[in-house]
Amino acid sequence: MMRLIIVLLPLLLQANAHAAEPYKAPFWLPGGHLQTIVTSFLTKGPDIKYRRERWELDDGDFVDVDWADTDEPYLQGKHFSTATFTAGEVVEQKKPILVIFHGLEGNSQSQYAKSLLGAAISKGWHGVVVNFRGCSGEPNRLPRVYYAGDTLEIDTMLSRVREIYPDNSIYAVGYSLGGNALLKWLGEAGTSTMTLISKAVAVSAPIDLKASADSLDAGLNRILYTPLFVDSMRPKALALSRRFPGLLDDNRIRNAKTIHDIDNAVTSVLYGALDANDYYNKNASKPHLRNITLPTLIINAKNDPFMPAEFLPTTNDVSTFVTLDYQEEGGHVGFFTSGFSNENGWLPNRIIEFLEEN
């Protein structure tokens, strides 16, 4: 027996330490830019077949959510088939429910969402990705866009999940922009958050929105990333302007070249802010982190090109319920491990590890 324990001990220690160990990028992937780009553009996540639901909202608009709720992970190779459970059957199983909020111009097909769902499903959990308004492939009905501090939307979506699953543990995970919105909601809602979810995780959140926008609009970032975001947002904004004449200035939208430009022309107008800086100040999650009242993990890489490390909150800026996990490398929603699908990587394992802690 002692010999068996000695043989198995290194394996057990390795399994327990896998996600807790600091992230280390492959030797061939140095720097925050490469760690961001390779993960975002060259990996796709596991093959997950979603079950889509459309939730009608009280304001007359809708949100499409995509469920991944199979109980047969990895039994069909690496393919996850759509489940046919009724809500009652799923509730009876008391499986944890994972709710994912994506980043700017993301959706349920974003590799980080699928990678986390793959890890969750392998444990028998159920998951849902909330596609923010206009991100599910169909324009939303109202002259409204999702934004970095949309706490009402976060509250509405989590309340809807709680109505469906009144007895299950619910975990919320937000990436990038979705992470900022989730953190802001946690701080604003205070103790009432505990009636909806048990734990939360924010990954690569632009906690200081102005610092993040300034960083994206400067230097190499302005060449590598900003045009991608602006070029993705511009057609949606122009389409919205055509549907609601006089709401937006088309010339400002067409001439927008930076994050500040598009937020001045679109987001701040629809949000009701004076300008982009006013919008950033009112929607940053950083001032609200001291008011969080449930276990929350904040994961950021110090070499994240979207969120300069010097603007990340310290332990003095957060409540005792918040765990700060700042990795030396990893990029923006990167933390690439290996493989085209980036499965079983450091990031999803770190998230699951935290959510499973007692």
d(CA 145, CA 240): 10
Task: Find the DSSP H helices in 165-208.
Answer: 177-189
d(CA 128, CA 87): 13
Mutual angle of helices 32-42 and 111-121, in 10-degree steps: 70
Q: Does the model's pTM come out above 0.75?
A: yes
List residues with catalytic annotation: 176, 304, 332
Q: Name the pairing type of β-strands 97-101 and 170-175.
A: parallel
What pLDDT does 44 receive? 87
What pLDDT does 42 receive? 84
What pLDDT does 14 receive? 31
Q: Collapse the DSSP code of 48 into the 3-class scheme (helix H, G, I; strand E, B; otherwise coil) and give the result.
A: strand
Instruction: For residue 100, give both structure tokens.
Output: 């994912």
Per DSSP, the residues of 264-327 read IIIIHHHHT-SSHHHHHHHH-SGGGGGG--S-EEEEEETT-TTS-GGGS--GGGS-TTEEEEEE
What pLDDT does 41 receive? 86
Give me the residue label for tokens 């002692």: 2
Q: Name the pairing type of β-strands 126-131 and 199-203.
A: unpaired
- % of the chain residues with pLDDT over 90: 81
- Positive or negative, the CA dihedral 127, 132, 133, 134 is negative
What does the pLDDT look like over 256-301, one tens digit per residue?
Answer: 999 999 999 999 999 999 999 999 999 999 999 999 999 999 999 9
What pLDDT does 332 receive? 98
What pLDDT does 12 receive? 32
Measure Cα distances from 347 to 18, 200, 241, 352 in Å: 10, 14, 39, 9
What does the pLDDT look like over 135-154, one tens digit per residue?
Answer: 999 999 999 999 999 999 99
Instruction: List the beta bridge partners of residue 131.
Output: 64
d(CA 196, CA 160): 9
Domains and CATH numbers, the chain: 26-207+284-356 (3.40.50.1820), 209-282 (no CATH)
Q: Which residues of the chain have pLDDT under 50?
A: 1-18, 72-92
Contact 148, 209 (CB under 8 A): yes
What pLDDT does 343 receive? 64
d(CA 93, CA 268): 44
What pLDDT does 339 receive? 63
What does the pLDDT look like over 324-336, one tens digit per residue?
Answer: 999 999 999 999 9
What does the pLDDT look like over 48-62, one tens digit per residue?
Answer: 989 999 999 999 999
Per DSSP, the residues of 62-77 read EEEEEEE--S-TTTBT
d(CA 270, CA 268): 6
Contact 272, 281 (CB under 8 A): no
Instruction: List the beta bridge partners of residue 171.
Output: 98, 199
